[in-house]
Amino acid sequence: MTRVDSLTFALPHADLLRARATAVDFDPHLHGTYSVVVVTHGSADIWSSRWSRTVRAGDVFFFNPFEVHAGRSTGSRAQYDVLYPSEAFLDGCTAATGPDEVRTIRTEVVTRSRTTGELVDALSAPVVDNARVEASLRQVLRECSFSVESPAPTSIARTVSQLIRQDRLRSTRTADLAREIGVNPSHLVRSFRTAIGVPPQTYVRQVRVARAGELICAGLELNDVAQRVNFADQPHLTREFKKVFGVPPGVLSRGVSR
């Protein structure tokens, strides 16, 4: 169960959402953007569909868009900052991508170093200097390994996840998803969970939460956001948002409007 003691957001730059949290557990979840996680205190066991290991204060680790991941502190509550850079921000750190290309961060963790320390210090300053944070983040990202390619779906799960993200399905019910690509529903669920890390219906809801976050950052009201991402109503959005972030969407809305 996701257990978060505190979580705040800030959007000082349109291409760089920031979050600061103290947490014990995060259930498997995803985000629609890159995630750069800076551990400031404590340690945690981290798992993703790409890698797993223990991270400690001073380490910085990375997830790609829609990469399912989870975490649990190994002792007392872990404290960390998360930076969510946009594709445009990444263009300033590595080669820009073409319209049909996907950029993937291959690096899992940058362990504590002078470079990560500069980012920790920038984020921990009594008054955060946004320009210093951005410069320090760019330096960390320049130490990372990236790949840029035009991937084609290679499995049932990858095909369905791509269709869900691109809104190219008439229905997102499991039986209809299976019928769309011509497989048994039970086989789809097993294959999807093994490859992606969550069941297909959880993935559908979390993709909607990711889109909701983008709309909230763009300044839309929560009622409008819930309707646009196909939740039944604002309380439904709130329940699903809390499963991902541990806090209601109003926390994000207030943070980015300051």
Predicted confidence pLDDT, tens digits, the chain (258 residues)? 788 999 999 998 889 999 999 999 999 999 999 999 999 999 999 999 899 999 999 999 999 999 999 999 998 789 999 999 999 999 888 877 877 788 999 999 999 999 999 999 999 999 999 999 999 999 999 999 999 887 766 789 988 998 899 887 778 899 999 998 899 999 999 999 999 999 999 999 999 999 999 999 999 999 999 999 999 999 999 999 999 999 999 999 999 987
Q: 149, 171, 201: which is the final residue of a domain? A: 149
| Strand ranges for 14-112 from DSSP E | 16-29, 35-41, 43-48, 52-56, 60-63, 69-73, 78-85, 102-105, 109-110
Residues 118 and 7 in one domain: yes
* Domain of residue 58, residue span: 3-149
Residues 177 and 229 in one domain: yes
Q: Which pLDDT value is given to residue 102? A: 87
Nearest to 142 by CA among 88, 94, 87: 94
Question: What is the spatial distance between Cα 129 and Cα 137, in angstroms, rounded to a whole number?
Answer: 12
Residues 212 and 137 in one domain: no
Q: Which pLDDT value is given to residue 38? A: 97
Residues 77 and 31 in one domain: yes
Question: What is the spatial distance between Cα 208 and Cα 12, in angstroms, rounded to a whole number?
Answer: 24
Go through the chain and tell me how many residues it has: 258
Question: What is the spatial distance between Cα 38 and Cα 116, in angstroms, rounded to a whole number?
Answer: 8
Residues 27 and 121 in one domain: yes
Residues 143 and 160 in one domain: no
Q: Would you call 68 helix, strand, or coil by DSSP?
A: coil
CA 35 to chain centre: 5
Q: Which pLDDT value is given to residue 152? A: 67
Q: 121, 149, 177: which is the final residue of a domain? A: 149
Residues 105 and 15 in one domain: yes
Q: 149, 165, 186: which is the final residue of a domain? A: 149
Residues 161 and 141 in one domain: no
Residues 161 and 142 in one domain: no
Question: What is the spatial distance between Cα 71 and Cα 84, in angstroms, rounded to a whole number?
Answer: 17
Q: Which pLDDT value is given to residue 95? A: 75
For residue 88, the domain's CATH number is 2.60.120.10
Q: Which pLDDT value is given to residue 121? A: 97
Question: What is the spatial distance between Cα 119 and Cα 142, in angstroms, rounded to a whole number?
Answer: 13
Q: Which pLDDT value is given to residue 168? A: 75
Q: Which pLDDT value is given to residue 230? A: 92
Residues 38 and 125 in one domain: yes
126: CB partners within 8 A, 6+ apart: none
Q: Give the count of domains, the chain.
A: 2
Strand partners, 84: 17
For residue 191, the domain's CATH number is 1.10.10.60
Residues 125 and 11 in one domain: yes
Residues 99 and 176 in one domain: no
